[in-house]
Structure formats: structure tokens, C-alpha cells
Amino acid sequence: MTNRAGRPASKEDAIMKSKWRYGALAGAVAAVLGGGGSTAQGAGFFLPYQGAAAIGNSLAGTAALGEDASTAYWNPAAMSRLQEGQVAFAAHYAAPIVQFSNNGSTGPAAIVPATGGNGGDAGVPTILPNLFAVVPYGAWAFGVAVSTTFGNRTEYDPTWRGRFQSTESELMATNINPSLSYKWNDWSFGVGVNYTRLETEFHQRVVLGVNTEGNAKLSGDDTAWSANAGVLWEMTPKTRIGLSYRSKIDFQLAGTQQVATLTGVAVPGQNFDVRADLTLPAITTLSAVHDFDSGWSILGDISYTQWSEINNLLVKNLAGTTVQTLSFDLKDALRASVAANYRWNDNWLFRAGVAFDQSSVKGSVERSASLPDSDRIWLSLGARWDIVPKKHRLDFAYAHVFVEASEIGRTTTGSSGMTLKGNYDNSADILSAQYTFSF
């Protein structure tokens, strides 16, 4: 057998491939899960695009607002506030900017000299749709939310300096969430179930021999069930507090690893089936809303996401043997937001909000090229136009996400191992629109 340069394959080449087989698989899965999102979403790879009102309010008051059918996702208990049936369609355009600047990256040892640029803008603009519906029936209300709840997409230039850690990544969780609420005096209670399909795909360059590179692709998918619940307390006709909880979601991903030369020829022995267990975190949200007689409302929100639930990932072969245990060392994260809404007249309502969204990444060593996650500040504006009051409504929102500049110093091992060292300068813009029909 010969290597790509035409020389007889050496023992060193064979050892490289053997070490890479599971080492790169582990690195690939770690890169996707250690940071499965672009800077356009909330911290980690949670996607908060659930209705335009939430975006206009910087996610403040989501568990207590109960303003339209999107509450079927945020807090099913607040569906009790809707006196008529509603169907809402929303779409969100998220445009992230992800820019890396190299500052001392090293490796892999077999690629001499190790070259490559900064990767261009790795953020990928995305359109994400939502569908919500709520039907009240006496003290009861039935609802459903269909949306993408977790997600990722990044794409670097294929020859960039960090190509041995990531070139492309995508993670998408599509969720169907039917729910039920019941109102008892000043209290409302809601429960729901979630059917989620998770699809993942990850690409990176790998070392096949001395100064010889190839492409690797790791993909997997699974479906899983989970639950959510909420409570709403209407303390007074003007003040209410909401609490919602979405449980963790356990997946058993099944997929493949594919390795090929740069010309697309499959590398023998490097294409096989894989399995990996993945848990998406539980989320708890506490919200408050107070309405003033003057037409103003103030909204507040604190959300806690248990990212530490996915600290360890077991990568297994089809025999069920654990071939690698990965430690992500993520931390739980808080998001705090406040907003003010003003009802100008029967047809128009205006929104403004600000939020602090804490990163789930502890520091530069844990940060990944797939998600250079760091703390961020949301600033948002929104408006609601009741075209025909209590019948047809349009919502619009814009948010700019300021992402704190961050450093990366992530090291991977194996024949394709390297240290990616440098800085990230990221931001994002979000445009949202929603049509709501009441019946």
C-alpha cells in the first residue's frame, strides 16, 4: 500500500491512522457538543427563537407574559390567559459573525510547516420558523409548539489554521411540544411532553501521513421524549409571576464516521458505525410582569440552564465497548433580562429589552472552534401591530447581540492533534416577525 505521496506506507503512517481512528472521533464529537452553536443564539447551543415578542423583550418575562400562542413553548400554564383560540406563525433571521485571529497555534506535528488563514467569517445566516397554537376550553387550554430548540451551524474556510479541530459543524434539534393547562382561581398549572429529533454533523481535516491531509465527517441522529411544566400566579390583576421547567433530554446517537483523501477516495479501515450518548440540559425560568394603568409594563426574567449535565460523553463502538470518555467541564449558566412595553393605543404596542447571557464555557482551554462561546449582552426593540384588534396581529423585533471578546487555547491529541490559540471577535443580529390569528 502507498501513501498519497506515492511512497510505500510506513509503519509510522499505520500507527498514525490507528491512533487517529478513535482519537479523532472523540475530538470530533467533543467539538460538536462542547460548542454546538453560533453566537446568534443563547449561551451554549440553546436557541431562544420562540416567538417575536420574546426577541423584542430580550427574553424577559417569557414565563409570565401569556400574550400570545408562543406561551405554549415558554410556559404552558400561561395559556390560561388567552380567552380565544390562537394560531401563530413566526420566522427568525439570525446573522452571526464569528471571526478568529490566530496568535500562536501549533501542530499537527506531521504537517510541516503548519499553515492556514483565520478561517473567514464562520457564522452562517439561518432562518428558523415557529408554529404555535392554543385552544381554550373553559378552565382548560390545549396548546402545541413546533420549533427548533437547540442548534448549531459554523463553517470555516477549509484550509484555515484550525482545520484539524473543525471545518464545518451542524447540530439541530426539532421539537414538537403538545401541552395542557388548567386554571384554578388565581393559579394556573401546565404540563407538556416533547418529542425531539436531534441531527448532528461535523467535519474536520485529519492527518493521513506526513504532510498528507484528508477529510473526516462524523454524523448521527436520534429521537427522544422529555417533559415540561409550569405554574402561573396572578397575584393581582396587574401583577403575575411564572415559573417554567423543561427537563433534560437523553439521546443515544447512532451514526457513521467517514474518512477520505482530499480527492474523495475512502480511506480503508476508517469508515465505521459509531454510537454516543448525549444529554441536552434542563432549563428553569422564573419571570415576572407588572402592568401599569399608564399603558406601560415592566418584565423581568431569570433563567438557569444546567449545562454541567453533559460534562461527560461516552463514545462506543457497536459492541457497546467504551472506547473513549470525554470530559467537557461545562458550567451551569444564568441569563437575566429586563424589558419595558408601552401600549400606545388599541393598535400599537412597543417593546425594548436588555439581557445578560452567561456563557457555559469556563475558559480558553474549554472553548472550541465550533462554538467560541462567551458572555453576551442582548439589546432589542420590538413592536406589535393589532391590524384588527383581537383578530389579526403582526409582531416585529430586532436584537443585536454583543459577544465578549474571548481567547481560545484548545488542545486536541492524536496524530491530528494541535493547539488552536488565538482570539475571537463575535456578534450577531436577529430579525423576527410573527403573524397571529385569533378565532
Does the pLDDT of residue 1 top 90, yes or no?
A: no
Evaluate whether residue 92 is within a structural domain: yes
Please tell me the predicted confidence (pLDDT) of residue 8: 44
The average pLDDT across 245-265 equals 93
Dihedral (C-alpha) 167, 265, 25, 374: value to the nearest 10 degrees?
0
Q: Is the entire prediction scored with pTM above 0.85? A: yes
Evaluate whether residue 243 is within a structural domain: yes
Residue 281 preceded by cis peptide, ω within 30: no
Please tell me the predicted confidence (pLDDT) of residue 35: 36
Mean pLDDT, the chain, integer: 88
Evaluate whether residue 385 is within a structural domain: yes
- pLDDT tens, position by position, 293-305: 999 999 999 999 9
Evaluate whether residue 426 is within a structural domain: yes
Please tell me the predicted confidence (pLDDT) of residue 309: 81
Please tell me the predicted confidence (pLDDT) of residue 43: 60
The average pLDDT across 102-125 equals 95
pLDDT band at 310 (very low <50, low <70, confident <90, very high): confident
CATH number for the domain that contains residue 407: 2.40.160.60
Q: Residue 430: which of 124, 51, 94 has the closest Cα?
A: 94
Evaluate whether residue 142 is within a structural domain: yes
Please tell me the predicted confidence (pLDDT) of residue 3: 43
Please tell me the predicted confidence (pLDDT) of residue 2: 41
Evaluate whether residue 6 is within a structural domain: no
Please tell me the predicted confidence (pLDDT) of residue 270: 83
Higher-scoring residue by pLDDT: 11, 390: 390
Please tell me the predicted confidence (pLDDT) of residue 271: 85
- Which domain covers residue 191, as residue numbers? 11-438
Evaluate whether residue 419 is within a structural domain: yes
Task: Write the DSSP string, 4-37.
Answer: TTSSBPPHHHHHHHHHHHHHHHHHHHHHHHHS-S
Does the pLDDT of residue 382 top 70, yes or no?
A: yes
Evaluate whether residue 3 is within a structural domain: no
- pLDDT tens, position by position, 14-68: 434 444 444 444 444 444 333 333 445 556 678 999 999 999 999 999 999 999 9
Residue 113 preceded by cis peptide, ω within 30: yes
pLDDT band at 315 (very low <50, low <70, confident <90, very high): low
User: If you ran DSSP here, which 8-state letter would residue 131 be given?
Assistant: E
> How many Å separate Cα 236 from the centre of its chain?
36
Q: Which residues contact 242 (CB under 8 A, 6 or more apart)?
A: 61, 62, 63, 64, 65, 66, 75, 77, 78, 230, 231, 232, 233, 285, 286, 287, 288, 289
- pLDDT tens, position by position, 194-230: 999 999 898 999 999 999 999 999 888 999 999 999 9
Dihedral of CA 23/26/31/35: which sign?
A: negative
Looking at the structure of the chain, the number of domains it has is 1
Q: Which of 8-12, 77-81, 246-250 has the lowest average pLDDT? A: 8-12
Please tell me the predicted confidence (pLDDT) of residue 320: 75
Please tell me the predicted confidence (pLDDT) of residue 28: 40
Please tell me the predicted confidence (pLDDT) of residue 324: 54
State the maximum Cα–Cα separation within the chain, in Å, rounded to a whole number: 83
